[in-house]
Chain A
Amino acid sequence: MKDRYDHENIYWIPILIIFVFLLPLILKGISFSYKYYLFVLNLAGIYIILNVGLDLLSGFTGLVSLGHAAFLAVGAYTSAIMVDQLGVPFSLSLILSPVIVGLFGFIIGFPALRISGMYLGLTTMGFGFIVKRIIISFRDWTQGSAGLEVSSPVLFGYTIKSDLDNYYLIYTFVIVAIIIGRRIATSKIGRSFMAIRDSEQAAEASGINLSQYKMLAFFISGLFAGFAGVLFAHTSSFISTDHFDILLSIYFIIMVLVGGASSIYGAVLGSLFIVLLDNLFVPLIEDQIQLLFNTQAGDIQSLIFGLIMFLFIIFQPMGLYGMWLKMRIYWKLFPFNPRQRFT
């Protein structure tokens, strides 16, 4: 039997990692305002970690979650309280908080055993509202809706404070998250998740315990969201319940869909695409509108997002990653049969 991995090209992975670590220096070289770009990239990084988890849950397992902003909130507040009020070191909180969010995911997973699709989406959305109320009512710990100041992360005695430090901290975990996400997706667990989404009968006949795996999906998703939450709280220094509203959960779903559901790279591409669009290109367009028509552009962002969603679902349901795969196949086969489709 031939060995399948001898021809697999994986050299680009270390190159990509080196690029990720050199990017801040490149940005610093070409732009005066590199700190803002780093800041946007940091935000994208946090969302990537969360969306890898969301993709495993909603993309792979088909359990729609509209409560991921709440997962993020639980992670952020748990870590903020543990580090600043209970004196737990940041490195320990980095392990404990995700586990706590994962267990939270378990609780949310219970309804998923009975309901699915849109109803599950609504249930998780309700969970988002509940979490917000709980955070507000634990005023002694969370300072209610006034928001909570959070200390900067301290790792091995080094305080991580600047955007550059944050970048390296976040992107180290982004790479770890992508690798773990890939490993989960291509393992028995990932196959089982997809089987649950597409055919519960086939899954059950193949020996997959449906309820166990659905709970596992929520747990894993919670772990990722918890990680993202910890990083979010400590790198942005201030969190409040207003950060984690329902719109954010919807953005997460948009990111996963635009990237291409049920592919880890898709979640990564989608997060980067939407965050960069939101923070670099929409303001640019707004500035242009202000310049040309001398009026405030107002809510152009929702318009653009809605349009993108619409176009992607109609013309590119496989998302950005699917687009890339198609392109790759096209080039591979190029002179011959260029019409071959991705099937």
Chain B
Amino acid sequence: MKKIIGVLIVIGLFGSGCVKRAPSPGITDSEILIGNVQDLSGPMKELGAIIPNGSNMYFEYINDQGGVHGRSIKMLIEDHQYNPQKAVVAIKKLIEKDQVFCMFQVIGTSPCEAIRPILAETGTPLIAPATNSGTMSDLTKQAGDLIFHTDTGYDRQAEILVDHIMEKNSDAKIGLVYQDDDYGQNVLLGISRAESKYGVTVQKESYQRGAVDFKGQTMNLLKGGLTDVIIAGIVREPVVIMKTAEAMNFKPNFYGTGPTIDARVGKMAGSAGEGFTATNWSYMWNSDYPGPKLYRDLCEKYDIPQPYIGLYHYYGFATAMVLVEGLNRAGKNLTRNSLIKGLESFNEWESGTFPPITYNRNDHAGVDKVQLVQMQNGEQVVISDWLE
């Protein structure tokens, strides 16, 4: 008897998953369902909760104003633990089971790469993948026409950093510490372009994702007699490298790409982090542009807890604006195709949070410039114009 009840429960659970929806997936008269896959319990779990919270804040703001063409936005979040296999399963669930309209902000380069076949097969667009990898805007790759990238690619960031260094000091000896994965590979691509441009050789040191000890790499950099070092890491890596270097009395200028813009880098590194320069592809969240101002107002309005407020939360907010604008332009009769058309009509669109974004049939790259942000007396200070 118990067994039979068990079987009935199982059937019931299966059955509950198959509520009939409207033929156009994820769209009803009152709701737009979108999917998001974050790292909620893996190596980047701090970001996993913060970024979508920022997006949800903007969606709530839009929904409170009546939604997009009368439809409110609802976001489902799945966990992939920074594992591409789990990302594939999660995406499959969101698209086939929950029937989401589009994917938004999937975090991590390898997860994003792994889900390309499913995006292509189902024709689901992916807006604002949360990775700076330049490969995301490569239209020749599978599902390239369905992915709309917002961030400046790591390769561009690295190139711009080398430009900046060479401009300051044409005799600079440059070193690079990179994470030996797709992130690092994308940085290396930009570095090798810069190497051939200036005819210099960059000393390259790699580390494994999750490494905590960088004595070997720092020692090698010291031996190379470098003046400038670019760190393609996340948060812990630049902190540990700069502290190790300080202990060795090795004081080059440190630069960082991508996620090193996190304010925690400077705070945790303390005196060693003074002068650390990172690349930033959006207006600073605490600056006086209209986007950041709206952001801070909304944070107050929706009672966002203090630890959430900052760069990543703001990033989630900023990318949500891109999606909402795309949905707006897609019009009342919303389909996946009309969303893509709407996004491709962006021409120097000024969101107030990102520099002007242009999308068209041959360009899904979004922002392609950065500004440099330096740690000065424990504060992040913008030290350059927008560099291309």
Contact = CB atoms under 8 A, between A and B. Distances in A.
A302 B99 CA distance: 27
A213 interface: no
A240 B95 CA distance: 22
B89 A39 contact: yes
A283 interface: yes
Contacts of B135: 146
Interface string A202-221: 00000000000000000000
Q: What secondary structure prevails in chain A residues at the interface with B?
A: helix
A22 interface: no
Contacts of B45: 298
Contacts of B142: 149
Contact of B99 (A33, A147, A240, A247): A33
A237 B185 CA distance: 21
B96 interface: yes
Nearest to A162: B121
Nearest to B48: A296
A145 B109 CA distance: 10
B96 A243 contact: no
A298 B82 CA distance: 13
A146 B110 contact: yes
Interface in B148-162: none
A39 B93 CA distance: 9
Interface string B77-113: 1110011110011001101111100000000011001
Nearest to B83: A242
A32 B95 CA distance: 12
Q: What secondary structure prevails in chain B residues at the interface with A?
A: helix
Nearest to A281: B13
A66 interface: no
Contacts of B92: 35-36, 39-40
Contacts of B110: 145-147, 240, 242
Interface residues of A, number: 38
A245 B121 CA distance: 27
A111 B27 CA distance: 58
B84 A243 contact: yes
A292 to B, nearest CB: 16
A316 interface: no
B41 interface: yes
B40 A298 contact: yes
A298 B77 CA distance: 11
Interface stretch (B14-22, B193-201, B338-346): B14-22
B182 A145 contact: yes
10 contacts: A31-B15, A33-B96, A39-B96, A40-B89, A144-B185, A145-B181, A146-B110, A147-B84, A279-B93, A283-B93
What 4 pairs across the A-B complex have the smallest Cβ distances? A299-B41, A36-B96, A237-B117, A33-B97
